[in-house]
Amino acid sequence: MSAYSRVAGVDTAMRLQSDELSENVRSAKGTPVSKRNASRAARARRHSAGIRGSQALNGLRFLWLEITPGCNLHCQHCYTESSPLLKDPKIVDWEKVLRDAYRAGCRQVQFIGGEPTCNKQLAQYVSTAHKLGYTFIEVYTNLTLLSERLADQFRRYRVNLATSFYSSLKETHEEVTGVEGSFERTVAGIQYALRKKIPLRVGLVSMKTNEHDVAEAVKFLVGLGVDKGKIEIDHTRPVGRGSGIVKLQSLEETLCGQCWQGKLAVSWDGSCYPCVFARRVMVGNLSKSSVGEIVRSEKLKTFRRRIFEHSRKRMYASGQEFLNRFLTLLSETN
Ligand SMILES: C[S@@+](CC[C@H](N)C(=O)[O-])C[C@H]1O[C@@H](n2cnc3c(N)ncnc32)[C@H](O)[C@@H]1O
Ligand code: SF4
């Protein structure tokens, strides 16, 4: 599972399936129920899965807010093509976006960029999200600019942190980030976050530059005290500068297949996308439409249905492959 499919800490597609599965197991193992009760329960299960499924396809559950195009680093693979040369033109009223999205039913938000800590209003946005009632707030940061004051705000507003790490070797990490000294600063940021007991997960994106050291990088992080279960390895997607270092793919191959689940990305200029990696599918701009209008738009719904169908087929195909392998193994052992 990619770092992005886990952004909200849950994977609804899998959960819908496993809910149904565990319900089936429970009723299979539980006290015998009358046929009538069983079919009533099955109807209720189908109904509730249907509601949750359609909310995911039509609603707003999770928001990426790219609160600046700028960054203090210049990573080889950066899909937003961020760099120290880009300044924030302050086009979007992020407080309004938070309010409108909350009204549209959204309860999970991730502040990202570029580098979100380059936006001096970050602490203010986090406090607004907390006060509005968002139940999951995450800041995705390279952790090179984490100040004591910001860390205190994160603790106060129950922020989760996500960060990026590329190699246990300073030279390799910095070959990816393009900035000398970034290795020590990110390591110090990770140590500080852990000391402050701020929940932290780490995304490790592999590419030609660092693929030889991925396993060592994981060991290094675990040595720092990062929970192994919170380290997510992903591959480089052919988006932004990433398209210069990996082969171009279809949209379906580029995406992990989870973005149909009520997700929306809002970029620094107000452009909205169904996923941070789906930049070739702009579904609207906040200068022309409201958050609610974009969520209800046919363009977004059509995209979500397309990704949903594709990931369902992919899931069935891998289930079928697993079953075939299991049956072959069984016939070989008999
Ligand atoms: C765009 S960055 C923004 C947050 C912050 N500046 C950071 O780097 O942690 C978010 C994550 O996306 C990853 N990323 C950037 N470009 C990517 C690409 N082309 N494919 C896959 N992941 C990418 C980064 O490695 C980082 O983990
Ligand atoms: S991946 Fe993050 S740290 Fe690297 S250039 Fe892009 S925004 Fe900056």
- Whether residue 122 has pLDDT greater than 70: yes
Pairwise CA distance, residues 267 & 65, whole Å? 6
Closest ligand to residue 138's CA: 1
Ligand 1 contact, 139 CB (< 6 A): no
* 70 DSSP assignment: B
Tell me the Cα Rg of the chain. Answer: 21
pLDDT band at 274 (very low <50, low <70, confident <90, very high): very high
Tens digits of per-residue pLDDT, 214-233? 999 999 999 999 999 999 99
Give yes or no for a contact between 279 and 79, defined as CB atoms under 8 angstroms apart.
yes
**Beta-sheet strands, E only, within the chain:** 62-66, 108-112, 136-140, 160-164, 200-206, 231-235, 263-266, 271-273, 284-285
| Å from CA of 204 to ligand 1 middle | 9
Please identify, by atom number, the ligand 2 atom nearest to the C-alpha of residue 112: 7
Tens digits of per-residue pLDDT, 279-327? 999 999 999 999 999 999 999 999 999 999 998 888 887 888 888 888 8
Segment 103-112 mean pLDDT = 98
Q: Which two tokens stand for residue 69?
A: 């195009």
| Å from CA of 156 to ligand 2 middle | 26
Pairwise CA distance, residues 64 & 80, whole Å? 13
pLDDT band at 41 (very low <50, low <70, confident <90, very high): low
Least confident of 65-79, 176-190, 276-290, 307-321: 307-321
Ligand 1 contact, 83 CB (< 6 A): no
Give yes or no for a contact between 263 and 276, defined as CB atoms under 8 angstroms apart.
no
| Å from CA of 178 to ligand 2 middle | 10
Q: Which two tokens stand for residue 76?
A: 């080889």
Pairwise CA distance, residues 164 & 178, whole Å? 14
Tens digits of per-residue pLDDT, 142-170? 999 999 999 999 999 999 999 999 999 99
